[in-house]
Amino acid sequence: MKILKFGGKSLSFDGSFSQVLEIIDSKVQVREEFAVVVSAISDTTDVLEHLLIQASKGLAYQELFEAFKNKPQHQGLDLTSSFDLLEKIFEGVFLLQDYSLKVKDEVLAQGELISAQVLTHHLLKRGIEAHFVDARKLVVTNANFGNAQPIEQVSKQRVASFFNGNVPKGIAVITGFIGSNERLETTTLGRNGSNYSAALFANYLEAEEVQNYTHVDGVFTANPEWVKDAKKIAFLNFNEANELANFGASILHAKTIVPLLEKQIPLRILNTQNPNGTGTLISAAPTPEGIKSLSVQSNVALINFEGRGLLGKVGIDARIFKTLSNHNINVGVISQGSSERGIGFVVPSDRASEAVVALEQEFEIDFYNKDVNKICINEEVVVISIVGQELQTFHKPYNALIRNAIVPILFNNTVTGKNVSLVVEKSLTKKALNVIHGEIFGVHKKINIAVFGVGNVGKQLVKQILAARENLQRRKEVNLNIFAVANSKKLLLASDGIGSAWESNLALSTTENSLELVYNYAKEHHLENLIAVDNTANASLVASYIDLIGRGFDLVSSNKIANTQTYSFYKQLRHQLVKNHKDYLYETNVGAGLPLIDTIKLLHLSGDNITKIRGVFSGTLSYLFNTFTSTDLTFSQVLKQAIASGFTEPDAREDLSGADVGRKLLILARELDLENEWEELAIENLISKDLQDLTVDAFYEQLSVLDPIYEQIKRDQEPGHVLRYIGELSGDLQQRKGDLKTQLVSVPVNSALGQLKGSDSIFEIFTTSYGDHPIIIQGAGAGAAVTARGVFGDILRLISKK
């Protein structure tokens, strides 16, 4: 014989009820021998409890009760006995404005009694022989109303006698959740009671298997409604299932496992809507070791007990837990401060106030003597348990949480060392689950990216990410999800990614660009592994970097402003990065896609003394002077070509001022821990003062004014020399500050700088180890695609650290 258990959602009339009939019918057709145990239909238990509470408060309940009686599932059969009993109870409770647990059990029991009658009725209508079985006549319990325990021998004898005796023909449809005590008073079996009933009947009848039909395909590595990448677990052994049940798995309960474990009866978790699925099989068969699943206990509260005057006193813990035990209050996760000065522990949320009152009474004298400071409750917490997690690898999920600005309030591990429980803020539950799950189970790690600035570089970056996304998922198990893109005015948000039509969607968006909206969206959608990418030249966004870091974002930026602000801001930004365990990468600040900053960092950290850095830092100025000195074109003609080709900023004077080269030079200086400020740079502006204050159009009309100036500079060079606009960092770089200057120079055509072509950049790094032979880094130093590729590289570097 098998025991089939159907849960409340499976029996819902607007859901799976017809499928339940199909499942039973199909088993009848192949002549399987089985009995059925049912829960109350859908939300019946909640409705009955709500009606009871309404009546106890003296509030109107009659209309709600009539609506309950007229539900579709109650039509076509005689439920008068249940409805009359409920009406009498509600009337009495309304008058007394109070009720006992005994009364509550009688009310809630009607849910299962009605459910079993409804299913029996519809099976008979379908031509399937079936009979209703009231479990109160079979399962005898103690008188602990609300959480009664079966009296095993008596219950077992009654069940065996019933099924071995002159039992009616057809399928037994048994009420779950309920029993009766020796005085024939109705009792309930507590949380998960219907599943417990199924396990008890399986044990008493020595069933072949229990099939528990639910609304999910089995036991998953996490709640699939919260973690999209959760995977079904095909097999669990009883010990693993018991651990999952103990740590709050929603479709398992520890007391359900025990009767099955005793007789080694397999339990199969199946989906009513997917009856042909294999589900999860729980049995005595061994399974591979390792982390099995994440479970959540949400109906808990954290009690903090602090007593500075208890330092060195022995027995405080004993008093705490004895007091709670005397009040029958279970204690979960426990974490203790040093020398018994403080202790935190988790209790059921509905018992938290009672626990505090009991402890205040026990420690009344200690409060008076000021040995105990406070006992307080935090109800905004959950317990996340990693079942199968060993301590030696716990640093991986823990560090992932910290990187995502989720700091566990406390944690502990079991004596076996193979289960770790964390207490976290309730508002962070889904995000924490996704972070831990992604770290542990090796599924696609989701990286959520917000892109600010979608001009030339930003647009190229988005295209590159979308193009590479599938390949990264396949090869690196990383899912790059751009959940936000913003230009200067508008914002586009999409929790599952912006898609290829993002440009038109952004143009049609009515959402104004707002960092606060991005923050709130990420929080509401529990997005983990956040990266903010700044492709703007916006100082106001830079001013929000510290806020972004505090909100859990790592930073990637092609925007140079942050690294060339005051030195105090530069240091403050680094302090916040360390404090919040965040990273800030900006390789493209100086060399576009060239690996310049990384190289300098490594040289500096390795202890090699960098003595000088010199080079052509600007791709625009590189193109300008490479072309001007190697052709007969005038300076203004070359400049117009550069403007037409998009090599310059909209106002070319921004490039010609030398300020961009100066910013890059200052960034490198700070990578060497130099404390130079912007004002200390010597920058040669290539535009005379009389042209600096003109409008852009007026300036472009007078470009020819520059021709005689630069023609003369070109003629004045020594033979075999060419013009280059360079930046140079020199001086004693072991001191607090170095010498930083940008200038137009003439260099030999056969030198490294002189041989530069097109719009390439080149950097010479002189060190003590390399002497007169500098390290040379050369390549494309400008262009949207190149810079975007460098930004993408920084994103990938960040991911490798996660």
The residues assigned a catalytic role are: 664
Q: Is the dihedral of CA 264, 270, 275, 278 positive or negative?
A: negative
Any residues with CB less than 8 A from the CB of 462 and at least 6 apart, and which? Answer: 451, 454, 482, 485, 498, 502
Q: How far apart are CA 324 and CA 337, in angstroms?
A: 19
Q: How far apart are CA 80 and CA 71, in angstroms?
A: 14
The three state secondary structure string of 331-378 is: CCCEEECHHHCEEEEEEEHHHHHHHHHHHHHHCHHHHHCCCCCEEEEE
Helix axes 101-125, 80-96, angle to 10 degrees: 160
Straight-line distance from the first to the last Cα atom of the chain, in angstroms, rounded to the nearest whole number: 51
Q: How many CB atoms lie within 10 A of CB 546?
A: 17
Closest residue by Cα to residue 443 from 231, 632, 238: 231
Closest residue by Cα to residue 554 from 575, 536, 579, 581: 581
CB 593 within 8 A of CB 792: no
Q: How many CB atoms lie within 10 A of CB 318?
A: 9
Dihedral of the alpha carbons of 250, 251, 256, 260, in degrees to the nearest 10 = -140
Alpha helices in 477-618 (DSSP H): 502-508, 515-524, 539-542, 545-550, 567-579, 588-591, 596-605
The three state secondary structure string of 727-768 is: EEEECCCCCCCCEEEEEEEEEECCCCCCCCCCCEEEEEEEEC
Q: How far apart are CA 560 and CA 576, in angstroms?
A: 18
Closest residue by Cα to residue 584 from 541, 538, 548, 537: 548
Lookup result for tokens 């960098």: 610
Q: How many CB atoms lie within 10 A of CB 74?
A: 18
- Token couple for 396: 């991986």
Cα within 13 Å of Cα(195), Cβ side: 22
Closest residue by Cα to residue 292 from 352, 243, 363, 254: 243
Cα within 13 Å of Cα(100), Cβ side: 8
Q: How far apart are CA 547 and CA 470, in angstroms?
A: 32
DSSP state letters, 505-539 = HHHH--PBP-HHHHHHHHHHTT--SEEEEE-S--H
CB 400 within 8 A of CB 435: yes
Q: How far apart are CA 369 and CA 693, in angstroms?
A: 76
Radius of gyration, alpha carbons of the chain: 36
Q: How far is CA 535 from CA 14, 517, 573, in A?
A: 51, 19, 18
Beta bridge partners of 297: 383
CB 374 within 8 A of CB 304: yes
Any residues with CB less than 8 A from the CB of 508 and at least 6 apart, and which? Answer: none
- Token couple for 249: 């798995």
